[in-house]
Amino acid sequence: MKAREIGMASSGRNSSGGAAMSGARLTALCCAVYFTSYLTRKGYDASILAISEDTGLVRTALGLASTAAVAVYGFGQFVTGFLADRFSPRKMIFLAMLVTAGCNMAMPVVVGCVPAMVALWGVNGFSQAMFWPPLVKIVAENLRGEAYSRSVLWISIAANVAIVMVFFLVSGCVWLAGWRLSFAVVSGAALLMAALWHFATSRLETSAPASAQAASPSPGQDAAPAEADGKASLVRLMAEAGLFYVMAAIVCQGVMRDGIEVWAPSIVRDQYGIGTSASIFSVALLPAFAVGSMVAARALRRLLGDEIKAAAALFGIGAACAATLFATDGATMALGLPLLAVLSASMHGANLMLIAELPGRFAKCGRVGAISGILNAFTYVGAALSIYGFAALRDRFSGWRPVFLLWIAVLALAMALLFAALRCWRKFLNP
């Protein structure tokens, strides 16, 4: 991306008197932050098998720390979203990076004491919740239109690249010196990233300037209603925009995205009788498809005109895949694995539309942080439901076909909810 293509909504000077950061540089820096945050967030999950083999702790006990982190992360999105609208988002990100570095540094020390591991990783979960809302707020305040859209796309891609890289990193560290090395590496990376972020953004504009307030909200060019002071009542604002329907659809998206990622290896192993290691390796294909789906989702948004229509179309694509899986019961791996990949990818595309791009529409209202935090939190409500629910349904009926049927229902419900939101959304965009 070229800096001149991205541009800035500000006048070129920030409130500190320094030159405004170029859009390309800001995007690259935010990508680096989010990439590093995923290393410090997913490294433990990738290390569980090695920790279990080294310490003798059962994986169910080790999994309690991951569960705590997910629960605290989801709740933390509500809190940090509001904080990002009231305090310096750049300072929140700096603090979060220091805290997650400390948590990763301390984990090898407390391994063996499950309550301490759960508490420590719960703290890490809250620190991880301090990345997304502040990042979205910073980008929305400094970029507009397609510049904002491109930026959040690249940031989302950075997260998926990190998911792939963390498995290579952990496996390499285990091979070289053991799982403890991986925690040292990611904590060191977080400390370096904290220093880079602090100095690189020391003069960054983090309060939308007057010219930005007057500019059209991202990612489109349409205006959004706001109170005279730019801070509309949050509940009223959400109702006017149809976000309560959208939040319910996001729960469905979380059910599908995270449920497929967690249970895809088991589905592939059970359906096609291949080995555990090969089943796990097959999941590495999912993030690659996710990156492509994000690019396609942006093109779909430009074609259809807004994020909600694009997300509804992506849910429709997912429903077609789920219906084919149900009708054929996955038939062969050559059919089933691509269908799972496309279905997973479509959910990542919907996530980009509803969690990353849609909050940018609220830049003029001064509610980007709160909206992004609330919407992201509902993704993890869905994730929590699916991680237990899919396995329970599979065990109850001794097969995955009933799960495929549930997927069709969930995806159809999400489409219906988004269509219900459209009338309010149109009025919000064109008051």
List per-residue pLDDT tens for the chain, 431 residues long: 333 333 333 333 343 333 456 778 899 999 999 999 999 998 887 787 778 778 877 766 777 888 788 888 888 888 888 888 888 889 999 999 999 999 999 999 998 888 999 999 999 999 999 998 899 888 888 887 788 888 888 998 898 888 878 877 887 888 888 889 999 999 999 999 999 999 988 876 544 433 333 333 444 444 444 443 444 588 888 888 899 999 999 999 988 887 787 677 677 777 776 665 555 556 666 767 777 888 888 888 889 888 999 999 999 999 999 999 898 876 677 777 888 888 888 998 999 899 888 888 887 777 888 888 888 888 888 877 776 677 777 777 777 888 889 999 999 999 999 999 999 998 888 87
Q: Going by C-beta distance under 8 Å and a sequence separation of 6 or more, which residues neighbour residue 294?
A: 153, 156, 157, 160, 348, 349, 352
List for the chain the helix, strand, coil content (%; round to 5): 80, 0, 20
Measured CA to CA in angstroms, residue 196 lies from 193, 199, 214 at distances of 5, 6, 31
Instruction: Count CB-CB contacts under 10 A for residue 16.
Output: 11
**Residues for the chain: how many in total?**
431
Q: Kindly state the tokens that stand for 34.
A: 């989010």
Contact 205, 10 (CB under 8 A): yes
Per DSSP, the three-state class of 230 is coil
The helix-helix angle for 285-304 and 307-328 (nearest 10°) equals: 130
Contact 85, 367 (CB under 8 A): yes
Residue indicated by tokens 């097959």? 282
Residue indicated by tokens 């500000």? 10
The Cα–Cα gap between 392 and 112 comes to: 29
The Cα–Cα gap between 241 and 330 comes to: 39
Per DSSP, the three-state class of 13 is strand
- Residue 13: beta bridge partners? 19
**H or E stretch covering 416:** helix 401-429
Per-residue pLDDT, 15: 35
Instruction: Count CB-CB contacts under 10 A for residue 303.
Output: 10
Per-residue pLDDT, 63: 74
The Cα–Cα gap between 160 and 168 comes to: 13
Per-residue pLDDT, 206: 47
DSSP 19-37: BPPPHHHHHHHHHHHHHHH
Residue indicated by tokens 């060019």? 221
CATH of domain 21-203: 1.20.1250.20
Q: Please, where are the H alpha helices in 56-178?
A: 59-84, 89-110, 114-128, 132-142, 145-176
Tell me yes or no: is domain 234-429 CATH 1.20.1250.20: yes
Contact 91, 141 (CB under 8 A): no
- Which amino acid does the sequence have at 217? P
- Which amino acid does the sequence have at 216? S
Q: How far apart are the first and last CA of the chain?
A: 33
Per-residue pLDDT, 175: 83
Q: Where in the chain is the domain with CATH 1.20.1250.20?
A: 21-203, 234-429
The Cα–Cα gap between 363 and 218 comes to: 7
* pTM to 2 decimal places: 0.73
Per-residue pLDDT, 232: 54
Residue indicated by tokens 């939101």? 421
